[in-house]
Amino acid sequence: MAKSSPAGVRDASSGAPAQAGAATDAAPMSHRQIMEALSGLLLGMFVAILSSTIVSNALPEIIHDLHGSQSSYTWVVTASLLAMTASTPLWGKLSDLFSKKLLVQLALVVYVAGSVVAGLSQNTGMLIACRVVQGIGVGGLSALAQIVMAAMISPRERGRYSGYLGATFAVATVGGPLLGGVITDTSWLGWRWCFYVGVPFAIIALIVLQKTLKLPVVKRDVKVDWLGAFFITASVTLLLIWVTRAGKGKDYDWISWQTGAMVGGSIVLAALFLLTESKASEPIIPLRLFRNKTIALSSLASLFVGVAMFAGTVFFSQYFQLARGESPTMSGVLTIPMIGGLFVSSTVSGQIITKTGRWKAWLLTGGVLLTAGLGLLGTMRYDTPYWHLAVYMVLMGLGIGMMMQNLVLAAQNQVEPKDLGAASSVVTFFRSLGGAVGVSALGAVLANRVPDYVKDGLTALGPKAAAAMGHGGTGGGGIPDLKSLPAPLRTVMESAYGHGIADVFLYAAPCALIAFIVTLFIKEVALKGTPGAATASAEPADKTG
């Protein structure tokens, strides 16, 4: 990385502000230098996203093989999202204190360790625990990718490189399910190899990161806010357990003493978190950031974008396999329109934002497209023509691509360099939180709706169908084996899942609408032309991390 003048560096011991000339003293990095520095980071992101999405089309078979239920299916996804959500602000704060390069490598190692052990899982409980470890690693890579980019690249130029990040996300997102489907459908491999296949790529990413990523190391003698991290994790976890377990009949009702205890406990823990943050010298989430209207609104919008974003990636695999009888491989192929839309919009919007410096129009357009796509997906059934679904998925993908990265960009443009990590991770945190709560809540909706639709279908077929269903492989609420069902019963199950998953998207559509409404109130501020590292707190630039 280009060296900055020592005069332009914040004194780590005195805390004196960096001189204004720092930005001009530091020669900007060329496109080639930036791409070399980002190569390992993008490869690390690719590995994490690939390993995360590779299981999506394998999950129905994994849960069936491990004798899990729809609740287990939801928790395999939610556990990773929860860990990612809770750890994201912690990784962001650590990046303001320690070597960003070392943290990226650590996050990658944690993720690989979780993946390898996940491949050895003997039951859903073990798999869920491993997904927690994976989520911690993903939380680091998700937060640090944005932070490292912000440290090297000015907001005005960052849109261009955010497009590369979005493109990496899109390629890994579409490549993961395809590869996972092929592995699952290959008898001599099986679903366990979905967790092993990313390990060689991760090792390459670690080597490339070591050679290419050069950033000034921040040295600040402060303590990490572990207590705040505990309270926010506990609060979110308790909330998700309540959402997942409530309203299923076998556990407890939505209105019950358990609901009161869990919701009340979550609120108390959240209050303790806010109290801790208000008193901490280096809080996980600096509450003062929310005094900035743009950061507050970007975080709120990201919360609702997260619901829509993760709903699509999680439930499409169930729809294509359980409502349309497709193989895991074809499930990945059939979601290409959504990923294609995401790829195009994130790349194109990033390039144009770099040229024009204007970003709000992209957020608003993305909100409209995402709401429309989800609303239309809410009308689908098991026999909806595929070309209709393809159009709906393209709209959804375009919307996600326009909003996901640009909300982070809007927040980063509003903070001082010393808060860059915290601000970036705050927006990412709320997006992950929305995804975790959304997947958990929408999974509960699906688990409740499918039995009702199955019951309606069996009633229409008559009493003999109900008797046959007892031997049809539903597994007492588990993931059904459609191949073992007679044709009429299979149609009932496909119809039930098609209608139930459509309801999931219908519930997600208002969340996208709320995100659009929130973005209306975000004031567009001209993008800065100075990278975060130009004025960041650092030791002399000859020490790199």
Residues 314, 450, 312: CA angle, nearest 5 degrees: 20
How many beta carbons lie within 10 A of that of residue 282, not counting itself?
15
Examine residue 347 and state whether it is found in any structural domain, yes or no: yes
Residues 272 and 129 in one domain: no
Q: How far apart are the first and last CA of the chain?
A: 11
**pLDDT confidence band for 218 (50 / 70 / 90):** low
The winner for highest mean pLDDT among 17-21, 285-289, 463-467 is 285-289
Question: Given its phi and psi angles, is residue 505 left (phi above 0), alpha (psi -120 to 50 degrees) or beta?
Answer: alpha
Examine residue 207 and state whether it is found in any structural domain, yes or no: yes
Q: Name the domain boundary from 247, 262, 279.
A: 279
Residues 212 and 257 in one domain: no
Examine residue 388 and state whether it is found in any structural domain, yes or no: yes
Exposed/middle/buried for residue 483 (C-beta within 10 Å: 0-12, 13-18, 19+):
exposed
Residues 367 and 385 in one domain: yes
Examine residue 149 and state whether it is found in any structural domain, yes or no: yes
Residues 109 and 253 in one domain: no
**pLDDT confidence band for 474 (50 / 70 / 90):** very low
Residue range 69-100, pLDDT digits in tens: 767 777 787 788 778 777 877 787 777 777 78
Examine residue 4 and state whether it is found in any structural domain, yes or no: no
Provide the CA 414 distance to its chain's centre, in angstroms: 23
Nearest Cα residue to 531 out of 102, 215, 288: 215
Question: What is the distance between the alpha carbons of residues 126 and 163, in angstroms, rounded to a whole number?
Answer: 36
Examine residue 7 and state whether it is found in any structural domain, yes or no: no
Residue range 366-404, pLDDT digits in tens: 999 999 999 999 999 999 999 999 999 999 999 988 888
Residues 445 and 358 in one domain: yes
Residues 301 and 246 in one domain: no
The pLDDT of residue 380: 93
In this predicted structure, which of 124-133, 142-151, 248-257 has the lowest mean pLDDT?
Answer: 248-257
Q: For residue 126, give the amino acid letter.
A: M
Q: How many domains does the chain have?
A: 2
Residues 402 and 263 in one domain: no
Q: Domain of 262?
A: 226-279
**pTM of the predicted model, to two decimals?**
0.72
Examine residue 150 and state whether it is found in any structural domain, yes or no: yes
Average pLDDT of span 166-195: 78
Residues 408 and 269 in one domain: no
Residues 350 and 387 in one domain: yes
Handedness of CA 391, 311, 316, 81 (dihedral sign): positive
Q: Name the domain boundary from 210, 244, 279.
A: 279
Residues 480 and 515 in one domain: yes
Residues 128 and 237 in one domain: no
The pLDDT of residue 519: 92
Examine residue 2 and state whether it is found in any structural domain, yes or no: no
Residue range 34-77, pLDDT digits in tens: 787 778 788 887 877 777 677 777 787 888 788 777 677 777 87
Angstrom CA distances, 47 to 38, 276, 417, 498, stand at: 14, 35, 28, 31
Cβ–Cβ under 8 Å, residues 115 and 54: no
What CATH number did the domain enclosing 132 receive? 1.20.1250.20
DSSP 484: G
Helix 386-412 to helix 420-461 angle (10° resolution) is 160
Residues 151 and 188 in one domain: yes
